[in-house]
Amino acid sequence: MTFLNPLLLFGLIAAAIPIIIHLLNLRKLKTVEFSTLQFLKELQKTKMRRVKIRQWLLLALRTLLIIAVVMAFSRPAMRGSLAGFGGATTAKTTLVILLDDSPSMNVRNERGTFLAQAKETTNRILDVVKDGDEIHLVTLSSIRHAPTFNAAHSPAPLRTMLEHLMPSQETLPFRDAMGIAAKLISESKNFNREVYLVTDAQATQFAQAGRADTSDLFDDNVKLFLADVRSGSTARIDNAGITSAEIASKIVTQHKPLTIKAQVQNSGSSALRNAALSVYLDGSRVFQHSMDIQQGGTVSPVVSIVPKRRGIIKGYLQLEDDAFEADNIRHFVVNVPDIIRVLCVGAAAADTRLPSLALTLDRDTNVAGLFAVEQITEPQLSSHDLNKSDVLILSGVRDFSTGEADRIAQFVNGGGGLLLFAGKEMDINNYNDVLFPKLGAPKMLPPKLVGSADQSISSFLSFQKIEFEHPLFAGLFEQQPGKTAQHAVESPKVLRTLVPQAGAKGHTIISLSDGTGFLIEYQHGAGRILLFSVEAGLTWSDFPLKGIFVPLLYRSGLYLSQTEAAASFTTGEEIKIHLRLSNRSDKDAFLLRSPSGIDERVVPQFMTQTGTASFSSTNSAEAGIYELRKIAGEKEGELLHAAPVNIASSETDLTHASDEIVNAFFTSIGLKPEQIRRLSRSDKIDTVVLESRFGVELWKYFVGLALLFALIEMAIGRESKEQKT
């Protein structure tokens, strides 16, 4: 027997009150013998025996009356089926039905789609509901978004909900779903508490890690019913899907090839031959690739595409149709820079002339008009807004104030690019003490003099090693098919050079013949830094006269301005976007548009020091491309960013969970084998459920007993008074 209000059992102490009163009323009488009353002794013994019996009976009835009242309020319930007596369903029940509506539920077998079968099973579970029961019907896709889950007390509205339920594109691990079920069950006051998991029993959802600590979610009185809609099915489900697609190229420009690394998984039991993988940009197919995938295997094709325009380009990879279509498409975004704003700062105008010319000569029609260059001198730096630029070039700047160094460091930390050239007027100590510590770069050694322009010293330094695998050189040299890359670069003659140190956070891209670095890259926050150890003029070297100068500056400007490829989000996750906004005002408004065209106003959090803004949204229920746009007045503004959202890659594996996986999962959340029941399609759900439930609540019977004891006590007590009279 179990008590629903066990604390009230302390009221049983009150049953001692009639006994205490009885004991207090007992008095010892002194015996006085009268000769004339001797003949009454036998009559007295008989009468007193009857009185004592009546007193003990009244004491017992009054004690039992108090016990019955206390037991009624403590709500006892007895385990076991009393169906034969018509009492098996009198105990109220709380049911939490977890309905799996993940993308895999749209797969079909010989009995139809899994979701249709799950809805049918849920309706059969609702047939068990009786008056007074509480029902929570929770779809897995609603758990991330619903603040609360209200209980229904009638199956009718839930059946209506089931009629309109469609498969979602979100996936939630069963661990998280069980956490919600445990919370709802813990709030219940009913005696019977049951959790129903209606699912296709996809193995990946049992295996995925959810909460950090989910052990012992349920107490021993909770029953869990696993309704597996795939049980008993003989149909074999083979599936292949695209589990990832990412932009591999670090520099993306118009009319230049870029590579996409994809991953395609075959979770079926047979190999795929000549499976076609297509690539689409702006809705048009631009590439097709065929591949073979072994059963249960994964391939990682690398495809090459050429963007035909600048700006944000939407794309996706697509496989041929199979049993599960939702994972045959993988969305991605290509961000081709439209314009790159470059700010050149020099000690004098001559210091920035050659870098500016190199970026604006427009010899390469692919980047014609791409760079918008502004030249200023060193005194103007303190009053210039760096956040309006994408790349900052410092050429021969003498020194920096603490405020200027702070602003430069914040600019780079927020994602801006910094290109440094040496100069004859530069103060090495100022760089080492003021600027470099804020950038996280190691100190430079004093300049090294190797030769002179007037040939009084004939020695010079040249390139020793070039890291051709660096993105700066990707696609810079033509290579004939089938031949090993052998790049020839004409080295400049370096007569004077800084001696920069790579340190722990930097690495040398080009080194000189004496082992010092000619071009070194550093990383600071979200931005990059490129440091040339020579000036951008002809005093220290003839670097500007060499053929590598212009293309290397082009590539440097592109590389420093490139943002990370748009991160792919999973449906149901929070979308987080971080952008550098060069032009903004307090009147700007922003919206996030879903793939189906639903607009959501989003309010950014601005970091004025770095010029960045952070946007977030939890409305990511559908797969596709989400657009972040700026609204200007009543007109739809420019497209600022696009974020690809795809279904969880784990959905591709449709493997059915084995008994070992299921049992291990339920054990991990504290459920014992005797608490778990499996519901198959052929089972009579009402019979299985009623046989497993706790029996009746006995409080009504104890109330009846209390009334019966009270009536008997009244009758016996009245008879006693009449006889005494």
When pLDDT is averaged across residues 164-186 and rounded to a whole number, the result is: 92
**390 burial via Cβ count (<10 Å: 0-12, 13-18, 19+):** buried
Beta-bridge partners for 629: 591, 639
pLDDT at 257 over 50: yes
Mean pLDDT, to the nearest integer, of 139-165? 91
Q: Which residues are 291's β-sheet partners?
A: 275
Beta strands in 366-471 (DSSP E): 371-377, 391-395, 417-422, 445-449, 463-466
pLDDT digits (tens, 9 = 90+) for 301-349: 999 999 999 999 999 999 998 889 999 999 999 999 989 999 999 999 9
**Distance in angstroms (rounded) separating the CA atoms of residues 580 and 577:** 10
Fold of 340-477+488-561: Rossmann fold (3.40.50)
Helix (DSSP H) and strand (DSSP E) numbers for the chain: 14, 35
User: Which of the four pLDDT bands, split at 50, 70 and 90, describes residue 401?
Assistant: very high
Q: Which fold has domain 570-644?
A: Immunoglobulin-like (2.60.40)
For 93-235+654-681, CATH number out of 3.40.50.410, 3.40.980.10, 1.20.120.140, 3.90.1170.50 equals 3.40.50.410
- Using pLDDT thresholds of 50, 70 and 90, give the confidence band for residue 635: low
240-336 matches 340-477+488-561 in fold:
no
Q: 441-464 b/e with 16+ CB inside 10 Å = b?
A: bbebeebbebbeeeeeeeebbebe
What distance in Å separates the CA atoms of residue 566 and residue 575, rounded to the nearest whole number? 11
Q: What is the mean pLDDT of residues 143-157?
A: 89
Cα separation, 462 vs 556, whole angstroms:
20
Separation of alpha carbons 213 and 199, rounded Å: 23
pLDDT at position 291 is 92
Query: Average pLDDT, stretch 383-392?
Result: 91
Mean pLDDT of 590-604: 93
- Using CA atoms, how far residue 405 sits from 83, 392, 506, in Å, is 83, 13, 19
* 41/252 Cα distance (integer angstroms): 122
pLDDT band at 690 (very low <50, low <70, confident <90, very high): confident
Cβ atoms of residues 591 and 601 within 8 Å: yes
> Residue 500 corresponds to which amino acid?
P
- Cβ neighbours for 128, distance < 8 A, ≥ 6 positions apart: 95, 685, 686, 689, 690
Q: Which residue has the higher pLDDT, 119 or 66?
A: 119
Q: Of 160 and 63, which is predicted with more confidence?
A: 160
Confidence of residue 89 (pLDDT cuts 50, 70, 90): very low
Instruction: Please state the rounded mean pLDDT for residues 481-509.
Output: 81
Q: Which residue has the higher pLDDT, 210 or 639?
A: 639
Residue 508: enclosing H or E segment and its boundaries? strand 506-512
Domain range list for the chain: 2-27+35-78+700-724, 93-235+654-681, 240-336, 340-477+488-561, 570-644
Angle, CA of 277, 282 and 284, to the nearest 5°: 50
7-11, 354-358, 523-527, 534-538: least confidently modelled range: 7-11
Q: What is the mean pLDDT of the chain?
A: 85
Q: How confident is the model at residue 174 (pLDDT cuts 50, 70, 90)?
A: very high
The β-bridge relationship of strands 108-109 and 311-319 is unpaired
The string of pLDDT tens digits covering residues 516-566 is 999 999 999 889 999 999 999 999 999 999 989 999 999 999 999 988 777
What is the rounded distance in angstroms from the CA atom of residue 697 to the CA atom of residue 78?
7
Q: Show Cβ contacts of residue 2 under 8 Å, excluding neighbours closer than 6 positions.
A: 76, 77, 78, 79, 191, 221, 694
Confidence of residue 371 (pLDDT cuts 50, 70, 90): very high
Written as one string, the DSSP assignment of 127-140 is TT--TT-EEEEEEG
Strands 108-109 and 112-113: antiparallel
Q: pLDDT by residue (tens digit) across 427-455?
A: 999 999 999 999 999 999 888 887 655 54
Q: Which pLDDT does position 178 carry in this prediction?
A: 93
> Does residue 90 have a pLDDT over 60?
no
What's the pLDDT band for 82 if we cut at 50, 70, 90? very low
* Homologous superfamily assigned to 240-336: Immunoglobulins (2.60.40.10)
pLDDT digits (tens, 9 = 90+) for 562-583: 887 778 999 999 999 998 887 7
More confident residue, 335 or 27: 335
